[in-house]
Structure formats: C-alpha cells, structure tokens
Amino acid sequence: MNLKAFNRALWVYHLNTGSCNGCDIEILAVLTPRYDAERFGVMLVGSPRHADVLLVTGPVARSMEASVRRIYAQTPDPKVVIVVGNCGTEGDVFHEAYSLVGPVDQIIPVDVYVLGCAPRPEAIIHGVVMAWAKLERLVKGEVV
C-alpha cells in the first residue's frame, strides 16, 4: 500500500454517541507509547472542522442524534467515517432499546467498520489504515 498523496498527518476527531467507554479507552491506548499510532502520523484534534476522519463509537442515544448530524456536516470533504465497536455497527446487546435511534449508519454514511467489543488496539490501527487508503482514493478523484 503506497500512501503518498497525503503529505501531512491524518487528523482524527473522536465522537462518543453514548457508548460504555470501552472502545474509547482502547482508542486512547492506540496513541500511547505501546501501540503509538502517532508514528504513522495520526493525531487527535479538538474540532471537527480540522478533521479528515471521524471516529464514532456507541449506539446513538436519542439526545445525541442532532449532534451527530451536525458534526458530520461540519467536517470538511474529503472525509471518512470509521465506526469502532459492535454497538455502533448493529446495536449488539442494546438492539431493541427504547432510547436509542439505531446504529450509526442509519444516521450518517459509514465507510469502515471495526468489529469487537471492545476491539483490540491493533484492530483499530488496521481500521484507520484502511480508511487512510480510501481517503487517498477520494483525494485522487477515483470513484469509491
């Protein structure tokens, strides 16, 4: 895989839509010296307007639906959405709850799914690299 079109670091914005925090601590563990995603050029940013990648966790709670849509609209193109964890993919143990409005792809379009409850940090890095390859194709203008 030749990741050449991106000549700067990949900026990631982390969005928690009501998850149990298990996937979130594994995402933070990816940035710590043991797994160290920063050597690949991945950085967490504090605002969606600077981000290339949206990292979403959690089954979407009803009161977070508006925030999710707004943040997706604020992220500039080209962008990729990664969903981390089983409950964002298809609900997992929460699938018939009355206070949730369904998995993330019912609300915003999703590009990469990382499965697991919680997925290992190595799986999250694999997901980010797949998203990076997809982003390269988007930047070059290829059809995705």
Partner 1 sequence: MEKLSPKAIIDSFSEKLGDGLVGSSIYEREIAVKKNKFRSLWIEVQSSAFRAAVLHVCQLQEYPHLAIISCSDLGSEVELIYHFTIYYGQRFEELSLGLKVKLPKTDLSIPTVTDLIPGAIFTEREIQEMMGVEVVGIPDGRRLFIDEDVPEGIYPWRKDETGPDKLLRVLPGRKPKRHDEKG
Partner 2 sequence: MAVGETEKTTYTIPVGPVHPALKEPIQLMLEVDGERVVNTDILVGQVHRSIEWLGMNRNNPVQTLYLAERICGICNICHPFCLAIGVEQAANIPVPERAEYIRVIAAEMERIHSHILWAGVAAHEIGFDTVFYLTWRVREEIMDLIEYIFGNRVTKGVLQYGGVRRDITAEQLPRIRKSLDYYKSIYEHLRRILLEDKTVKMRTRNVGVLSTEDALKLLTVGPTGRASGVPKDVRQDQPYSAYADLDVEAITPDMVTGTVVGDVYDRIIVRLLEIKQSVEIIEECLEKMPAGPIMSETKMPRLLRLLTDAAGEGIGRVEAPRGEDIHYVRLEAGSETLGTWKVRAPTYVNLLAVPAILQDMQIADVPIAFASIDPCQSCTNRVVVTDRATGRKSILDYQELHRLSVEKTRDLQR
Cβ–Cβ under 8 Å, residues 56 and 15: yes
Residue 83 has phi, psi (to 5 degrees) of -105, 125
For the bound state, the minimum distance from the C-beta of residue 129 to partner 2, rounded and expressed in Å, comes to: 21
**Binder to partner 2 among 5, 9, 73, 93 (CB under 8 A)?**
93
Q: For the chain, how long is the longest CA-to-CA vector?
A: 46
| Beta-sheet pairing, 53-57 with 80-84 | parallel
Restricting to residues 98-127, which ones interact with partner 2 according to CB under 8 A? 98-100, 117-118, 120
Q: Please give the residues from 102 up to 141 whose contact with partner 1 meets the rule CB under 8 A.
A: 102
59 binds partner 2 (CB under 8 A): yes
Q: Restricting to residues 68-97, name those near partner 1 by CB under 8 A.
A: 95-97
Beta strands per DSSP E along 17-90: 42-44, 53-57, 80-84
**Choices 3-11, 85-93, 126-134, 135-143 (CB under 8 A): range interacting with partner 2:** 85-93
Binding residue (CB under 8 A) for partner 2 from 43, 61, 125, 129: 61
The reply on whether position 9 binds partner 2 by CB under 8 A is no
Element (DSSP H or E) covering residue 129: helix 121-140
